[in-house]
Amino acid sequence: MKPKGQTDTTMLEISTAQVGFIGLGLMGSRLAGRLHAKGWQVRTWNRSPRKDEQAANQAVPRAASLASLCGTSDVILSCLANDEAVRQVYFGPSGVLDFARPGSILLEMSTISWELSQELHREAARRGRQMLDLPIAGSTPAVEAGTITLLAGGDRAAFEACTPIFESIARQWFLVGPGGSGVKMKLVFNLLLGVEMAAIAEAIALGRQLDLPQNVLLDVLSRSAVVAPAFLGKLQKIRDGDYSPEFPLRLMSKDLNLIANAAAAAATETPLAAAAEKLFAASVDSAGDLDFSAVASRNAGGMAPSPTTAQDGSAASKAS
């Protein structure tokens, strides 16, 4: 049966589609708030009451339970921290796959292992639910500006039906391939992100050891072609010593571990990613809740910044 929020062309309609959003961490809370501001009928659910309060401050209605959210939603989005959280929310007792309405569309936006993503697709299909893995390329400033990139894996009809949602939160969106392909593409993205940040950290450490003034060093790098535009904001964070989280370091470390596992499964060597994985893993205990650019402080040979540098608070930096 076709969900009531879809037209004869299967396109979701902003005026009638009921949207459920699961996970209110740094990314999820902003995505839910943006959908609400764009006029979508959104309700949220989160495992942590503290982040539920954060969503309430955005005037986004909350569901009384996960079952209530799923049972009344035409499309369900989730943005969660890791495989464990996704598995619990989808497969656990009273999980999404138990309560989502037949014919509803599930948009799983977390960065997880491609094996779990494919498992989700198989189980969703078995239960008559449509599903896309839909990881996000971009951090919190891009969410707030509506300029993220969405990387989808799954059925084209479901992908096209969700175009109005994509238009509300993203600058561009790609159907990469069948189920799990979006997650695979996200791992490729984050391999570059982690290696480039590690390289910048190492370059800054070398410059400091060569007695280059930090402000001059960062200013010249920021005006050069060798630093990608995506990292200019990270240079400013390093300059200011402001490591309030846009993409927490612990999540970068987690993603590099996923990349290592994917490379091993594909019998592919990724030595640069392996070096970056070690660097970020060594920083998790002292700076895990800070922005991943905080790795530059550790690589400089000094102490990593205090977690109090995270202006949003360590609790707010954690995904659901």
Determine the pLDDT at residue 94: 85
pLDDT score, position 48 = 85
The CA-to-CA distance between both ends of the chain, in Å, stands at 31
Which CATH superfamily, name and number, covers 18-177?
A: NAD(P)-binding Rossmann-like Domain (3.40.50.720)
CB contact at 8 A, 111 and 105: no
Whole-angstrom distance, CA of residue 106 vs CA of residue 118: 13
* Dihedral over alpha carbons 19, 291, 256, 20 (to 10 degrees): -10
Residue 248 has a pLDDT of: 97
Which uninterrupted H or E stretch holds 125? helix 114-126
Instruction: Considering the chain, tell me which residue range(s) the CATH 1.10.1040.10 domain(s) occupy.
Output: 185-309
pTM, to two decimals: 0.89
240 CB-near residues (< 8 Å, 6+ apart): none
The phi and psi torsions of 195 (rounded to 5 degrees) equal: -65, -40
The segment(s) of the chain belonging to CATH 3.40.50.720 are 18-177
Domain 185-309 CATH (choose: 1.10.10.10, 3.30.420.40, 2.40.50.140, 1.10.1040.10): 1.10.1040.10
Q: Which pLDDT band holds residue 170 (cuts at 50, 70, 90)? A: very high
Q: Which long-range contacts (CB under 8 A, 24 or more apart) does 145-148 make?
A: 146/34, 146/170, 146/171, 147/171
pLDDT at 311 over 80: no
Say if CB 82 and CB 254 are below 8 A apart: yes
Among 305, 312, 258, smallest CA distance to 114 is for 258
Q: Is 290 left (phi over 0), alpha (psi -120 to 50) or beta?
A: beta
Whole-number Å distance between alpha carbons of 150 and 31: 12
- Cα gap 280→284, rounded to integer Å: 6
Min mean pLDDT across 4-8, 71-75, 277-281, 292-296 is at 4-8
pLDDT one-digit tens code per residue, 250-307 = 999 999 999 999 999 999 999 999 999 999 999 999 999 999 999 999 754 433 444 4
